[in-house]
Amino acid sequence: MNSMSRTIFVAALQLVVVGLASATCAQSNPSVNTNATLFQNVRIFDGKSASLSAPSNVLIKGNIIERISTEPIAAEPGVTAIAGNGQTLMPGLIDAHWHAMLIRPNPAQSITGDVGYNNIAAGAEATDTLLRGFTTVRDVGGPVFGLKQAIDEGLIAGPRIYPSGAVITVTSGHGDFRQLSELPRTIGGMLSRMEQIGGSMVADSPDEVRVRVREQLMQGASQIKLTAGGGVSSPFSPIDVSTFTEPELRAAVEAAENWGTYVTVHAFTPAAIQRAIAAGVKCIEHGFLMDEASAKLIAEKGVWLSTQPLPEGLRQGFPVGSVQRAKADEVWPGIARSYELAKKYKIKTAWGTDVLFSQALAQQQGAILASLVRWYSPAEALVMATGTNAELLALSGKRSPYPGKLGVVEQGALADLLLVDGNPLDNINLIADPAKNFKVIMKDGRVYKNTLRP
């Protein structure tokens, strides 16, 4: 983000504080931080198991789960007691493929629109994301560092963000949203608009890749995102094309590993997947067109697959007759196959949504998770979106912006918790209606929603 964009963002945040604070309070009644919170008489889904615990009590002190007991825990002075009445206490949900800055704007607005407006819209969406029960997101591309800072400092309510920063792409790769009128690119010349705002960065050699990776790390990236093959939404990026060369991918991996973190890549095809793995990439995003050999390789190398049960509404959002719609029609049939192969080869699989340019689809975030029951049991799906996704986040090592254990309900873990009216292991569709079924939403030990209050 350049200096002018930073100035606009700071000014915009002042409006965010005034405009969103009252709305957040009205919607979720967030409390101030208290010394301790006690959940009484709850059944626990711990983020790992296929069944609920016996009736239990959970004591939160600060932002840590201090004690879990089937025996009564006394509500000492200063402790806020919440009567669970047998409801389910579970970890906050984690979306492993999110684009916080790209939900509400359309593609043109996200690049050419006013930066201040886009940040305010992203702030509003971040609050809605948290109130859907998603206490953490792994942001895999976009100018999200300022939004993350505003959330972490308490200026606005939102999820924890594991940021990648700008998507790193090649000329005409997925993520290159420049127009033909912006060509030819001058090496070392003026940055394009998408690069100026920190959305995508073009890198066409190993040396350029190193620079762009290190710039994201300098700004606080917890992992690095490259596009190893063609994509749907980019106008000049055919699906079948492999983009980065292996030396370019290796340069990114080396730079990230020097910082103790990892590279994840957008890749659909076997060629893109296999080249990325050969270069040392630790995570494949999507993998929708992978074949048996690629799936077997992913499993043998212990590489993560971060894939998504993309909703039909996302495909239909691309206009009929457009290049993007044609590419979506090519990719969508592979979604089911990718899950079947992931299960067959026992691939380490993370879950995310990859919602783009649609506030309406973002509101279905929980329903998209629930749609995993096409391939998994409710317990398996919920473990994936909590404990398993947290294992993927842990690959960031010391680059993690939130030291501590996420995705589980256990002693010593960070207190990101949901109190659900009902048993989501029996009825996963409960998570599709968070406004009704999530009675309490806690992040980092702070209650952002509590409808059980008198």
Spans of all domains in the chain: 36-92+406-450, 93-375
283-286 and 304-307 as β-strands: parallel, antiparallel, unpaired? parallel
User: What are the b/e assignments for 11-40, b being 16+ CB within 10 Å?
Assistant: ebbeebeeebeeebeebbebeeeeebbbbb
pLDDT in the model for residue 18: 35
Q: Quick one: DSSP state of residue 421?
A: S
Strand blocks (E) in 6-55: 36-44
* Lookup result for tokens 């959330």: 151
137: which strand partners? Answer: 95, 161
Cα angle 448, 450, 454 (rounded to 5 degrees) comes to: 145
How far, in Å, CA of 30 to CA of 42, rounded? 21
pLDDT in the model for residue 116: 93
Local confidence pLDDT in tens for the 454 residues of the chain: 554 444 444 444 443 443 444 344 334 444 444 589 999 999 999 999 999 999 999 999 999 999 999 999 988 888 999 999 999 999 999 999 999 999 999 888 888 889 999 999 999 999 999 999 999 999 999 999 999 999 999 999 999 999 999 999 999 989 888 888 888 887 777 898 888 888 999 999 999 999 999 999 999 999 999 999 988 888 888 889 999 999 999 999 999 999 999 999 999 999 999 999 999 999 999 999 999 999 999 999 999 999 999 988 888 888 888 888 888 888 889 999 999 999 999 999 999 999 988 899 999 999 999 999 999 999 999 999 999 999 999 999 999 999 999 999 999 999 999 999 999 999 999 999 999 999 999 999 999 999 997 5
CATH topology of domain 93-375: TIM Barrel (3.20.20)
Using alpha carbons, select from 344, 412, 420, 424 the residue that is nearest to residue 381: 424
How far, in Å, CA of 349 to CA of 388, rounded? 8
Structure-block tokens of residue 257: 């590993």
List alpha helices for 37-114, DSSP H: 107-112
pLDDT in the model for residue 22: 36
* Overall pTM > 0.85: yes
- Phi, psi angle pair for 196, to nearest 5°: -60, -40
438-443 and 417-420 as β-strands: parallel, antiparallel, unpaired? antiparallel
Cβ partners under 8 Å of residue 335, min gap 6 = 288, 307, 308, 309, 310
- Provide the CA 297 distance to its chain's centre, in angstroms: 25
pLDDT in the model for residue 436: 97
Same fold, 36-92+406-450 and 93-375: no
H or E, element range at 20: helix 3-28
Using alpha carbons, select from 227, 191, 192, 200 the residue that is nearest to residue 142: 200
Q: Which CATH architecture has domain 36-92+406-450?
A: Roll (2.30)
Q: At what angle do helices 334-344 and 292-301 cross, to 10 degrees?
A: 40
Handedness of CA 38, 44, 47, 49 (dihedral sign): positive
How far, in Å, CA of 355 to CA of 308, rounded? 10
